[in-house]
Structure 1
Amino acid sequence: MDLLLADNIGYDVWEVEDIPSTAESIVILGKTYKYKDLDEIRDDVQSRLWCTYRKGFPPLGSVQYTSDKGFGCMMRCGQMLLAEALIQSHIGRDWRWTSDTKDPTYLQIVNKFEDTKTAVYGIHHIAIMGQESGKKISEWYSPNVIAQVIRKLVRFDEFSNLHVHVALDHQLALDDIIEVTSPLLIIIPLRLGLTDINPIYIPELKRCFEIPGSLGIIGGRPNQALYFIGYVGNEALYLDPHTCQRSGSINNKESQTELEMDETFHQKHAGRINFSSMDPSIAVAFLCKTQKEFNDLISNLKKPKDSTETPLFEIVEERAQPWVSTSMSSRDLEHDLSVICGDQSQEFEKLDKETEDGVDDEDDDGFEIID
């Protein structure tokens, strides 16, 4: 496995400082480690499904794309998040991957993320569902868009047995979730600043990784989507989709080619980025398999470690109804805003578009193609 990664990724994996020597705790998806547990940490990281750019898959869309390099990184992060939810709900958080793993449930999960036109969570179905949301195939997805795509796709997969709730407007309304009768994936899209993460949110970002049921965060740095799975000190740990590997299937892992293909779905070395360098547009996610786990999650989210910490979002019993003025027409409101804001209104429109569409993801210089 290490030799395969070294050949494919282009660096000596034995020299990677993925986890720095530290006395601080290392947190990964609800589990806390110490540096002395480095081998266990890497086994944990390696057991997450690593979804990356692929090349050589069946033609996608009218342009006939055979690779998603340059535009598919947020799609791949969404795949990693959903795969983690399936692994935790069907195999368990403590399950560990090895190169000779042939667990039928694991194989079934991976098959669903392969780049074929029949794989329910493959890039072809993600792109089709994105088009229904108004996104062109080659457009960059925001965390909110991929969250909505996930919500729609799981309805076509009986195996998943997942219900997906996407909370909007920085608000988790409990009346939207009446009862947890099957595993519940909660995704909460957030914007924690204009161009940079506001530092006041970092303590609560860290806590999102500590809470049982954590599925991490999808977000990234400017121009690059990343899947965040934990933290050490002031740095977030992530899996990076910006490696382009050949497309293929693991089927039942009977052949050497299928064994090697399975290895391309795993990476034991997490990357690190300072929280302050993260893009402020993110989505945090949690999994609750039972009503008790949901109740415990809400209890944990409602009580921050420190009363001075700023919550990332609001938890309310009922969603507030949108306010609509009965005395002012929309045309009057637009006129008054233009008078008050002047040319600044154009800047707000520009920011809103950037918030919805995400950042331009065409800057992929330096990313390596794997044969």
Structure 2
Amino acid sequence: MFFSSAVVFAKAREVYEKMKKLVRAEHFDVEKFCTLRSGNSEVYFLGEKYSFAEEEKNCDRFLQRFDACLVFTYRHSIRDLKSEGGEEIASDAGWGCMLRVAQMMLAQALLRSCSATGPGTTATAPRSVRRCLADEVGAPLGIQEFCKIGCEGAFGSRQVGKWFGPTSAALVAAELLNRHHERIKDVLMLSEDREGGTSKIPHGITFDEGPVYEDELRNALEKGPAVMWVCRRLGFEGKRVQYESGLLALFTLPQFLGIGSGNDGVSAHWFVGCYRDKPGAVASLMNTSTASSSGEVDGSSADHDEPYLIYFDPHCAVLEGDTSFTSSDEGGSHSRLAEYAELTRSCCGVLKARYLNTSLCLGFLLTDWADWEEVKGRLSDDSIVPKGLDLIEILKEKPKPWNPEDAGAQLEVLDDEDDDALLL
């Protein structure tokens, strides 16, 4: 049974507004934010700094960068999604939010990886990237493919309609980049990549156990650029504060693709930037002296002197799933394109950093090993990323699993060399 777009949208918006109040989130009016920023306000947004004190056009730069992000929300009238029992599932509302967050991170990676001038520009047309993520069979990064791979045993056997967490979504997203690498290139029409040289389209790698294993990362980067997800569980709610400064500082890294996580409820968001409510130098972003060990902020000025996270929210709308992005930029439905473009302004919010969920995945786009060395150097420098190596542990290689037979062989050797060895 299908409802009209207006009915679905209205109901979703009602639930969305109620949830925002429950989790203490606020709508982010980006234009008003830029207008009201005082002379020394600064924001970090996906690896770029915007200092409104330096020059007035920084506000325009920030707005352009903000609007360039591609936002993916819930959809209805999706085809070819079936439950384990064969029942048609026409919408991802209520269970697909983390998959939409993963799609937003993938879209940002594709836009950036095809740009030759850094994280602040997007050379690839958003239309072609959207084609990769359309809600239709054949789209290499569409929700049908997410669900298809998610059902596989290696990825948790999650049936269609089951909620994905940050780790499971990151694992599937990386697999999609690897499994459909050639199809993504075809959709983006990067035929010049086939004529030699390293492909600009990234592969994927996910570290779901916490540490980054450099031997595995090196193997991935030998194939070309890679999107790296680092999945973490930051402990109990009260202990989260010790990681806050490091998490905020990640937004200063040009390789950073944001955080896939949620609020202190169960909603998933794509976190893309940070700022402090109180005017001051961005160095104050790293200052968590007002935070108590419980994760709460002490003092009457807490609401005006604590960090906020900017995010895009997939829950804000339920749009039609039939996204026809198959024609050229000159043709097709411009009204539909305008509808999706408006999502950046309507589906954004801010959340106090202390309410960030402790389960999260951190995204990075690495062009080569030198890029990783730069990230690692910054993580190792407490003046850039406080406690960065506590937040992201780095090991040279993945430890080999313990083998009882190897242990037995070692004991036998000790026994042969020294009869008393086992008596000590």
TM norm. shorter chain > 0.5: yes
The amino acid that maps onto 1:46 is D
How many Å separate the matches in 1 of 2:129 and 2:30?
32
Residue 273, structure 1, aligned to residue 351, structure 2:
yes
Residue 116, structure 1, aligned to residue 136, structure 2:
yes
**Residue matched to 1:338:** none
- Counterparts in 2 of 1:322 and 1:17: CA distance versus 1, 3 Å: farther
For the 8 Å contact 1:208–1:284, the answer to whether it is kept is: no
Pairing partner for 2:319 from 245, 266, 271: 245
Aligned-residue sequence identity (percent) comes to 23
Taking structure 1 as the reference length, the TM-score comes to 0.76
Residue 257, structure 1, aligned to residue 330, structure 2:
no
Of Structure 1 and Structure 2, the greater helix share is in 2
**Residue matched to 1:161:** 201
Residue 183, structure 1, aligned to residue 225, structure 2:
yes
In the TM superposition, what is the alpha-carbon distance from 1:13 to its structure 2 partner? 9.3
Deviations 1:99-152 (A, max 9, x none): xxxx77543211011100111111111111111121121111111101110121
Question: Gapped runs of 5+ residues in structure 2?
Answer: 1-8, 18-26, 186-199, 277-306, 406-424
**Residue matched to 2:74:** 53
Aligned length: 316
CA RMSD in angstroms comes to 3.0
**Structure 1 residues 1-371: aligned runs within 5 Å:** 17=32, 21-22=37-38, 23-35=40-52, 36=56, 37-61=58-82, 62-92=86-116, 93-95=119-121, 105-132=125-152, 133=155, 134-154=157-177, 155-158=179-182, 159=185, 161-178=201-218, 180-181=221-222, 182-195=224-237, 198-221=240-263, 222-233=265-276, 234-242=307-315, 243-247=317-321, 248-251=323-326, 252-255=328-331, 257-261=333-337, 263-265=339-341, 266-268=343-345, 270-305=348-383, 309=387, 311-323=390-402
Deviations 1:227-276 (A, max 9, x none): 01110120111111112112222332444624533541551464110111
- Counterparts in 2 of 1:13 and 1:249: CA distance versus 1, 3 Å: farther
**Residue matched to 2:195:** none
For the 8 Å contact 1:197–1:275, the answer to whether it is kept is: no
The amino acid that maps onto 1:280 is T
How many Å separate the matches in 1 of 2:59 and 2:110?
25
Question: Gapped runs of 5+ residues in structure 1?
Answer: 1-6, 97-102, 327-371
Deviations 1:321-366 (A, max 9, x none): 345778xxxxxxxxxxxxxxxxxxxxxxxxxxxxxxxxxxxxxxxx
Deviations 1:44-96 (A, max 9, x none): 11111101111122141122112111111000000001111111101352325
How many Å separate the matches in 1 of 2:137 and 2:244?
40
How many Å separate the matches in 2 of 1:14 and 1:177?
39
For the 8 Å contact 2:72–2:101, the answer to whether it is kept is: yes
- Counterparts in 2 of 1:16 and 1:153: CA distance versus 1, 3 Å: same
